[in-house]
Amino acid sequence: MATELLSDREQEEALRNWWSENWRWVISGIAIGIALVAAWSYWRGYLEQRKNAADTAFSELTAAVASNDKSKVEAIEKNLEDNYSGSPYGDQAHLLLAQAHVAGGRFELAATELKAVVDKSKDVALAAIAKLRLARVQIQMGHHDEALALLDVSKAGAFAAQTYELRGDALLAKGDTAGARQAYQAALTASLTHPGDPSAGSNEYLQLKLQDLAADEAPAKPAPPPTEK
């Protein structure tokens, strides 16, 4: 309302005075805005470049593993470990190498790769999967107590069924058939209670394990008496 009462000349003079007092703030605000936009663009470009580089490195690692090029595998693995440790690419590289080591019977090396994911991964689900695979490798190596220490059902979450099943495998390998049966029963219950459990194994396979235990524990039938001639 007050502005409407001013003449054009008075309005022009008021605008000139306002600009004289505030131009520094206006220019600074524009400069900061431009700097923020430029910084955000640079950051997005950096992340995209980093993602593309990691993707390329992982593809090269996959090819090197397939061709059994050990020197190239070591070089690419070091690059991923140095620059992408704990990232999805670093985690997947460890899992890929662990799988290759298991296939080649190099269980100690597989355990090292899997432990890196368990200890460093920021993906809780992926770390849980790596822990299950590590327990399986420990069982394969005969380190049954180490496997059981990893298989903490209270911390298994959505992976309870497979955790119980692997506990059964470790206990059975130790000769604890009663403990193995209990663990397999718990695995079967967990898989039936949570049918969408991504870790749940085959119910039929669990049933077979339980049947095998029952057959092993069944008392031997007495030999038939000799027939008289």
> Does the pLDDT value for residue 196 go beyond 90?
no
Question: What's the whole-number mean pLDDT along residues 81-105?
Answer: 85
- When mean pLDDT is compared across 4-8, 19-23, 27-31, 35-39, the lowest value belongs to 4-8
- Residue 202 phi/psi, 5-degree rounding, is -75, 125
Task: Supply the mean pLDDT for the chain.
Answer: 80
**DSSP secondary structure string for all residues of 86-151:** TSHHHHHHHHHHHHHHHHTT-HHHHHHHHHHHHHH-S-HHHHHHHHHHHHHHHHHTT-HHHHHHH-
Domains of the chain as residue ranges with CATH = 51-150 (1.25.40), 152-217 (no CATH)
Tens digit of each residue's pLDDT (9 = 90 or more) over 116-139 = 999 988 889 899 999 999 999 999
Tens digit of each residue's pLDDT (9 = 90 or more) over 204-228 = 778 888 888 777 665 545 555 555 5
